[in-house]
Amino acid sequence: MKSQYLDIALQQVPNRHILINMVSQRVRQLIAGFRPLTTTESSFTHMDIALKEISEGKVGFTLPDQKELAEERARKRRKRTM
Angle between helices 16-31 and 3-12 (to 10 degrees): 120
Mean pLDDT score of the chain, rounded to an integer? 90
Q: Which domains are seen in the chain, by residue range?
A: 3-81 (3.90.940.10)
Q: What percent of the chain has pLDDT over 70?
A: 98
Residues 8 and 12: their CA atoms lie apart, in Å, by: 6
Q: Please report the pLDDT score of residue 80 as a whole number.
A: 78
Q: What confidence tens digit (pLDDT) does each residue in 39-71 have?
A: 999 999 999 999 999 999 999 888 778 888 888
Q: Please report the pLDDT score of residue 82 as a whole number.
A: 65
Q: Which residue has the higher pLDDT, 82 or 39?
A: 39
Q: Please report the pLDDT score of residue 41 as a whole number.
A: 92
